[in-house]
Structure 1
Amino acid sequence: MLHHVHDWQAAGWAYRAELYQHTDATVISRSPVLEHDPALPEAWWAELRTALDSLAQAPTERVAVREEYIRRAVPEYTGCDVGQIEWATAHGDFHWSNLGGPDLTILDWEGWGRAPVAFDAAQLYLYSLHAPTTAARVRQAFTHVLDTPAARVAELTICAQVLQAADRTPFYKELAGPVEEYLDVKYGKTA
């Protein structure tokens, strides 16, 4: 829960400090990329869907993912054109080490803002590719957004982020192969 926000400017820079509530929640994975299938109750999945659906509707001017980045990185790292982007509000860093269970807890909110529709669901799905049962469960929980034309940009953006960072971040390097395979199967190409 957000308790306080303080904005200030100094020396031509704008700053924001946000004070959030401390939690003792246990994260589902130490790595953003899921390596095992967690045993999460159905209630957790239902709460997760409700949380992301509600978040997507929240009005904001904050930006989680910049359009300029999307239009540059997606073609460069995936070989796909971007096309039209539909926007929604997203957590922006929605992966397994930012989720707690068995009671749903969502951590690490400093990057929330506007992103392509289905961005959080796409990130959670792609970061689950090493755990096929959970990847299928994510797909099932978020089929209402992931199986829409608007979700294409979100998936491609997450793929571009993974591939761009694969040479410098170990968990992205491990995820790069499955992401490239996913791009090939779903979109027919990678860069």
Structure 2
Amino acid sequence: MTLRSVDLRKEPVEAVLNRVERSLGVCLDQETVVRKRRSLGARTDRDTWVRIERRGLDRIGVQGGDGTASAEALLGIAKPAWLAGVAWRDETEAVMWRADETELLPGPPVGSAVVAEGPQLSDEWWAALNASLDALAAQHTNRIATPDTETLTQELVTGTVHSAFPGIDTAVTEWRPAHADFNWANITAPEFCVFDWEDWGMAPCGLDAANLWGASLAVPALADRVRSERREDLESRDGKLMTLFVAAKILGPYADPEDPRLVPARKAAEQLLRELQAS
């Protein structure tokens, strides 16, 4: 059965919100409801936040759909605490709905996923980012990252990179835990905190740093700062491969001709290809 393509920004969601309220015993503040393509969020009457996701059963895989809850076991990372959750199967479609209640964020997101202007971030903020990513990479999990709900495998890495750069050796040598959706919309400021953990799991070393670099390319100084702060990740062979993986998503078959990141991504990719082919 082909799963119907759904954009929750356009779908009626009152029944879903009502079910979440009954299941978690909360009242959602309708004025705070945030709609995204495959998720909803709202503040509750007990000063917490509830995130609701719609995910096809074919996108759950062996690890289930409990990323936010399972991330509660991660230590040393600035993230909102998980408090409660509920999941159910849709009555008419091959879809799982899941709602997770967490602490409120300490501040607003830095920006949209991809920023066009450089945010004002303190040295303390960057230190907190580094501490959290280092702590995450040092932990252990059986989960596999699912960026964009796709299970991150060697085959996915190869297919994505070769869609823009055919022939390059894409063999990954080191896998570590990663957030897997590490962009400016999922990070807060002025106090650093990273949220939306539904896709976290094992990934090639450097994925999170490469994602943030790619989300910063429209602001060259910001992209350079990301590279400088996460140099150890991004200068490893796997880090270079993940940077190429991110560049391939920008430059590949679905490239947006209006994307301001095209030129810097292409320039970076050319340099990376030379370095990887020489190694």
Pick the TM interval, shorter chain. Answer: 0.7 to 0.9
Q: Secondary structure at the match of 2:270?
A: helix
Segment of structure 1 superposing worse, 87-96 or 141-150: 141-150
Deviation track 1:11-51 (CA, whole Å, cap 9, x = no partner) reads 9x795836141326211112x12211111111100000010
The aligned counterpart of 1:51 is: 132
Report the Cα offset of residue 2 of structure 1. 2.4
Deviation track 1:47-90 (CA, whole Å, cap 9, x = no partner) reads 00010111112211222222221121211222332023311111
Structure 2 residue 234 is matched with structure 1 residue 154? no
**Percent of residue pairs identical:** 28
Residue identity in the other structure for 2:270: D
Q: Which runs of 5+ in 2 are unaligned?
A: 1-80, 146-151
Report the Cα offset of residue 153 of structure 1. 2.1
Distance 1:6 1:29 in 2: 29
The aligned counterpart of 2:155 is: 68
Q: Secondary structure at the match of 1:83?
A: coil
Q: Which runs of 5+ in 1 are unaligned?
A: none
The aligned counterpart of 1:84 is: 172
Structure 2 residue 122 is matched with structure 1 residue 33? no
Distance 1:141 1:151 in 2: 13
Residue identity in the other structure for 2:133: L
Distance 1:92 1:39 in 2: 24
Alpha carbons 2:240, 2:272 under 8 Å: kept: no
For normalisation by structure 2, the TM-score amounts to 0.59
Q: Secondary structure at the match of 2:140?
A: coil
Aligned length: 185
Alpha carbons 1:90, 1:114 under 8 Å: kept: yes
Q: Secondary structure at the match of 1:82?
A: coil
Report the Cα offset of residue 109 of structure 1. 1.3
Alpha carbons 1:85, 1:153 under 8 Å: kept: no
Q: Secondary structure at the match of 1:182?
A: helix
Correspondence for 1:181 among 267, 270, 277: 267
Q: Secondary structure at the match of 1:33?
A: coil
Distance 1:20 1:87 in 2: 29
Q: CA RMSD in A?
A: 2.7
Report the Cα offset of residue 160 of structure 1. 2.1
Deviation track 1:93-144 (CA, whole Å, cap 9, x = no partner) reads 1111111101002122111111110100111112212212211211121112
Distance 2:164 2:248 in 1: 5
Residue identity in the other structure for 2:108: T
* Higher RCO (CA 8 Å, separation ≥ 6 residues): 1
Segment of structure 1 superposing worse, 20-29 or 62-71: 20-29
Distance 2:144 2:206 in 1: 15
Structure 2 residue 203 is matched with structure 1 residue 115? yes
Change in Cα spacing, 1:72 to 1:89, as seen in structure 2 (3 Å) is: same
The aligned counterpart of 1:2 is: 82
Alpha carbons 1:56, 1:90 under 8 Å: kept: yes
Change in Cα spacing, 1:9 to 1:28, as seen in structure 2 (3 Å) is: closer
The aligned counterpart of 2:105 is: 23
Alpha carbons 2:154, 2:171 under 8 Å: kept: no
Structure 2 residue 247 is matched with structure 1 residue 166? no
The aligned counterpart of 1:96 is: 184
For normalisation by structure 1, the TM-score amounts to 0.83
Report the Cα offset of residue 150 of structure 1. 2.4
